[in-house]
Structure 1
Amino acid sequence: MFGKIPAKWMVVVSVLLGSFTMILNNSMLNPAVPQLMKVFEADAIAIGWVVTIFMVTMGMTMPLTGFLGDRFGKKRVYLIGLALFIAGSVLGSLSWNLSSLIAFRALQGIGGGIMMPLSMALIFEAFPRQERGLATGIWGVAAMVAPAIGPTLGGFIIETTSWHYLFWCNVPVGLAGLIIAYFYLPKTMINNQIKLDRWGFLFVTLGVGAILLTFGRMSELSHLVALPNLLLFAFGSFCLYVFVQIEKRVEQPLLDLTLFRVPAYTLSIWVSGVASIGLFAGVFLIPLLIQQVFHYGAIMTGLVFLPSALLSGIFMSIGGRTLDRRGVSGVLTSGMVIAAAGTLALGLMNLETTLFFIFAMMAIRGIGIGFTMMPATTVGMNAIPEPTISRGSALTNVLRQMSSALGIVFISIYYEVRRGQVSAATGSLEAASLQAINEGFLIIGVLTALTIPAAYLLEKKSKIDEASGIKKASGH
């Protein structure tokens, strides 16, 4: 069946199936929250743990994947991660109470935390430097399309069948990904000399876990000043500070923080992080706009996301191909300009705004994010020495996970606070919701616009840092 597909492209197919299944499942669960509240007779805060625990355990696992991939082989560890995710899906569908469901979601998160950084590392190992843009662009389609179709598919499953199928539907695709990965992922080098940075692992796990948990507990203004959240955030920040001090001194660091000395890598973290914040802010705001302001259903919400997802996937591939053929020049800057324009335009809506306008602006945003997110990550990863790819991928994914969570927390709290203020002043909840959504898009649009110079600098720095990365790699 796959005989005519080059082996390196089978690597992309393998990791794309796994990544798509994992991201799709997570986005499908959001519309299921009201149903799960009824099934388990729990409030929204308790059910919120079903979503939060996945984000937390995924973020806590990611820092370890660079070490695991180098020590035991990327293929073996990736297969274990995907198998854990599938096992968590099967067990999740068999959950007998809320505690068991949360535990199995945590298992899914551990599997996802292993898979995501290694997916990128496996692609980088399979493709030469000049072909990675297109490969990562095609793989990145999973990250764009899955969040767009997930809520609609999840809503359809909830309305027509049972919540159990939210987990069962992962199994066939996951198993297909596991089988293809087993046969087509190449075995990678194993370094038996690597030692685990135990203290670094302890403090980064506690730090990332505590901060992501804090973000997961916040959805309104009062949560920002709640003592447990303040203490949890302070504890997480302290642990990360200790982690940084440990990494400066240890001979074999868990995450190589010296990568931040490579300007292109650092700039790529910033650019892709802002693009990620913009993506997930839209995922949060658009359902509120379509359902609460314009009073359409979940299916229309999904349709609004569809052009954005498709165009982001197409232009992610175009941007990757352009990156491979002509270099990064112009791709990232134009992507940020387009994303900023589409986002700012969504901040100018009124109650007479047509669905066509929303479709069009979401499509423009999709083009901009597609041109920006994966190409920026690829440029940054290309600029670091080849032996550090696993650690660099883990660090990139940890920071992107935290920036996405921060973006959702900020936008959700801003929305609740502003809607309450405007509603009290005007007496119209509909108008208040629209104004809060408009302002949210304007804030994200301004942040995106302010990042355009960083994208331009990344284009300039990338050529210099790529050359130095090659020299460092050859010197190892």
Structure 2
Amino acid sequence: MKRLPNKWLVVVSVLFGTFTVILNNSMLNPILPRFIEIFDSNAVSVGWILTIFMVAMGMTMPLTGYFGDRFGKKKVYLSGLCLFLVGSLCGFFSSTLSMVIVSRAIQGMAGGLMLPIAMALIFQSFPRHERGLAVGVYGIAAMVAPAIGPTIGGFLIQYVDWPWLFALNIPFGLTGLVLSSKYLERTETHPEKKFDLVGFLIVSLGIGGLLFALGRGRTLDHLLDPINIVLIVVGLAAVVLFVFYENRQDDPLLNLSVFRVPTYAASIVVTSAASIGLFSGIFLLPLLIQNVYGWSEVMTGLLFLPAAAASGVFMSLGGRILDKKGPRYVVPPGLAIMAAATFALGFLHLSTPYWLILLLNTVRGVGMGMGNMPATTSGMNSIPDHLVAQGSAMNNIIRQMSSSIGIVFFSVYYEVRRAQIQAASDIDLQAATLQTLNEAFLVSGVVLVLAIPFSFILKGAQDDSKE
């Protein structure tokens, strides 16, 4: 470890922690039906295991900019990692569903502290022209963990009891804690900084309401439930109110002026589209593999492994190209590759072989690696260094919202459209399911294509030096 330059030790340190947070969440996704049996509960109650994590994380993220400035970014990151370990221990020793949900809330708050601060710590350690590769390596956690998590979770639940899904976090978290304590650099603190309580209450109502509504709105009935509609309306109103309120504050909780920077604003659009593309695949492909072709959960998990590897490799490669050439040489091609492979998934047949679907998903991973993190890096590079933590927080919040919106949309689309196709024709359930999924992949491809023009707005350090 000592042979690595200090700046790369920072990347390794935060990689352990953030990878563990994201991996744990994705491991639990396919296990929810098992929790219904274990706790003799229903899908709505068990769904809180995911929903509470998402809501707690989204409501905590706006605080990271203030905490980082007030107490120092290293302290905030270490506190978040310690809190995540506490949540994992609570989950391991849980004996009821309520205890599991509380444990997940603790983990969500920890993730909300860690993820935005991790990016800020990396940016603090690297000059602008080297951040592409650094964030590309770090981004492996964000891209690969959701892809391999379901496979690991499915494997573990076959051979060990469910509490070990939480116990797996502990060795990784402790390793990250030791490395972070040793190698993360202390940052400047501002004890005089005031806390914007009103702004926090408004944004918590907005983000919390929207994420809660999206988390429970996976079917059309739930989405159109009166309580859900009220939550969405109140959440949107609170977000609008927050924007007006923060723009009038001298020391806002979140400095929204970063959205006036064209590169940052464009990067938000690009990463939001890429997140919808990523999570549409994570949701739709298992349905395709199991419900259409009747292949096993193991084959479903294996489908994501080459894509995860390709995403990791091309994320690092894309970071190098970003550092040397600029975002326009890597982000638009990445989005185009991902869109093309997604469109190809929209033309599958009942006779399509498994290897072809695996190949197309791997190509999607290539495009994701090239398009997502380089766009994030160029956007973060375009804002002042003292706003990086806040910019990272807003990037993560919007990405979380985009992913949730994408999953809800494709969940409802799958439910409604499949029923329409069956009612309007004589085809069987298998064919109707395939047609529905084909259409859904085409929609996902369109979303990615619409983001390509925005990717040409992105500028890098190379463009700044020419001006």
Question: Which of the five TM-score ranges fits, normalised by the shorter chain?
Answer: over 0.9
**Percent identity at matched positions?**
52
* Cα deviation, residue 228, structure 1: 0.5
User: CA-to-partner distance for each residue in 1:400-435, whole Å, 9 max, x for gaps?
Assistant: 111111111111110111112223333511111111
Residues paired across the two proteins, number: 466
Partner amino acid, structure 1, of 2:375: A
Partner amino acid, structure 2, of 1:163: W
| Counterpart Cα distance in 1 of 2:384 and 2:465 | 9
Partner of 1:429: 429
CA contact (8 A) 2:69 2:190 kept: yes
CA contact (8 A) 1:383 1:467 kept: no
Partner of 1:374: 373
User: CA-to-partner distance for each residue in 1:176-196, whole Å, 9 max, x for gaps?
Assistant: 011110111111111123111
2:170 is aligned with 1:174? no
- Aligned to 2:352, what secondary structure does the other structure show? coil
* Cα deviation, residue 81, structure 1: 0.3
| Counterpart Cα distance in 2 of 1:69 and 1:428 | 56
User: CA-to-partner distance for each residue in 1:187-240, whole Å, 9 max, x for gaps?
Assistant: 111112311111101110111000000000111222232110011111111211
| Counterpart Cα distance in 2 of 1:290 and 1:456 | 35
Partner amino acid, structure 1, of 2:76: V
CA contact (8 A) 2:55 2:108 kept: yes
CA contact (8 A) 2:328 2:458 kept: no
CA contact (8 A) 2:325 2:462 kept: no
* Cα deviation, residue 466, structure 1: 8.3
Partner amino acid, structure 1, of 2:314: F
| Counterpart Cα distance in 2 of 1:57 and 1:466 | 41
| Counterpart Cα distance in 1 of 2:461 and 2:350 | 44
Partner of 2:458: 458
CA contact (8 A) 1:212 1:405 kept: yes
- Higher mean Cα deviation, 125-134 or 230-239? 230-239
| Counterpart Cα distance in 2 of 1:34 and 1:396 | 31
Partner amino acid, structure 2, of 1:426: D
CA contact (8 A) 1:426 1:432 kept: no
Partner of 2:419: 420
Partner of 1:474: none
| Counterpart Cα distance in 1 of 2:180 and 2:461 | 32
Partner amino acid, structure 2, of 1:179: V
CA contact (8 A) 1:315 1:367 kept: yes
- Aligned to 1:413, what secondary structure does the other structure show? helix
| Counterpart Cα distance in 2 of 1:430 and 1:269 | 37
| Counterpart Cα distance in 2 of 1:250 and 1:111 | 28
Partner amino acid, structure 1, of 2:253: L
* Cα deviation, residue 463, structure 1: 5.8
- Higher mean Cα deviation, 261-270 or 26-35? 26-35
Partner of 1:234: 233
Alignment of 1:249-260 (within 5 A): 249-260=248-259
* Cα deviation, residue 150, structure 1: 0.8
Query: Alpha carbons of 1:297 and 1:93: their partners in 2 closer, same or farther (altered >3 Å)?
Result: same
CA contact (8 A) 1:15 1:119 kept: yes
Alignment of 1:13-412 (within 5 A): 13-412=12-411
| Counterpart Cα distance in 2 of 1:11 and 1:41 | 44
* Cα deviation, residue 467, structure 1: 8.5
| Counterpart Cα distance in 2 of 1:207 and 1:329 | 34
User: CA-to-partner distance for each residue in 1:319-342, whole Å, 9 max, x for gaps?
Assistant: 101111222232111111101100
Partner amino acid, structure 2, of 1:38: E
Query: Alpha carbons of 1:61 and 1:467: their partners in 2 closer, same or farther (altered >3 Å)?
Result: farther
2:443 is aligned with 1:443? yes
* Cα deviation, residue 356, structure 1: 1.3
* Cα deviation, residue 465, structure 1: 6.6
CA contact (8 A) 1:262 1:465 kept: no
CA contact (8 A) 2:129 2:461 kept: no
- Aligned to 1:457, what secondary structure does the other structure show? coil
| Counterpart Cα distance in 2 of 1:267 and 1:47 | 37
* Cα deviation, residue 462, structure 1: 7.3
CA contact (8 A) 1:383 1:466 kept: no
Partner amino acid, structure 2, of 1:457: I
* Cα deviation, residue 136, structure 1: 0.2
CA contact (8 A) 1:264 1:462 kept: no
CA contact (8 A) 1:18 1:174 kept: yes
CA contact (8 A) 1:384 1:465 kept: no
| Counterpart Cα distance in 2 of 1:179 and 1:436 | 48
CA contact (8 A) 1:335 1:370 kept: yes
CA contact (8 A) 1:264 1:465 kept: no
| Counterpart Cα distance in 2 of 1:432 and 1:161 | 37
| RMSD, aligned CA | 1.4
| Counterpart Cα distance in 1 of 2:440 and 2:100 | 33
- Aligned to 2:254, what secondary structure does the other structure show? coil
Partner amino acid, structure 1, of 2:144: V
Partner amino acid, structure 2, of 1:432: A
| Counterpart Cα distance in 2 of 1:409 and 1:224 | 8
Instruction: Identify unmatched segments of 5+ residues in structure 2.
Output: none
Partner amino acid, structure 1, of 2:309: L
| Counterpart Cα distance in 2 of 1:161 and 1:423 | 40
- Aligned to 2:34, what secondary structure does the other structure show? helix
* Cα deviation, residue 118, structure 1: 0.4
| Counterpart Cα distance in 2 of 1:213 and 1:143 | 22
* Cα deviation, residue 29, structure 1: 0.5
* Cα deviation, residue 159, structure 1: 1.3
Instruction: Identify unmatched segments of 5+ residues in structure 1.
Output: 469-476
| Counterpart Cα distance in 2 of 1:197 and 1:130 | 34
Partner amino acid, structure 2, of 1:396: N
| Counterpart Cα distance in 1 of 2:327 and 2:452 | 14
* Cα deviation, residue 5, structure 1: 0.9
Partner amino acid, structure 2, of 1:448: L
| Counterpart Cα distance in 1 of 2:48 and 2:328 | 43
* Cα deviation, residue 381, structure 1: 0.6
Partner of 1:472: none
| Counterpart Cα distance in 2 of 1:239 and 1:163 | 38
* Cα deviation, residue 148, structure 1: 1.2
* Cα deviation, residue 367, structure 1: 0.8
* Cα deviation, residue 266, structure 1: 0.1
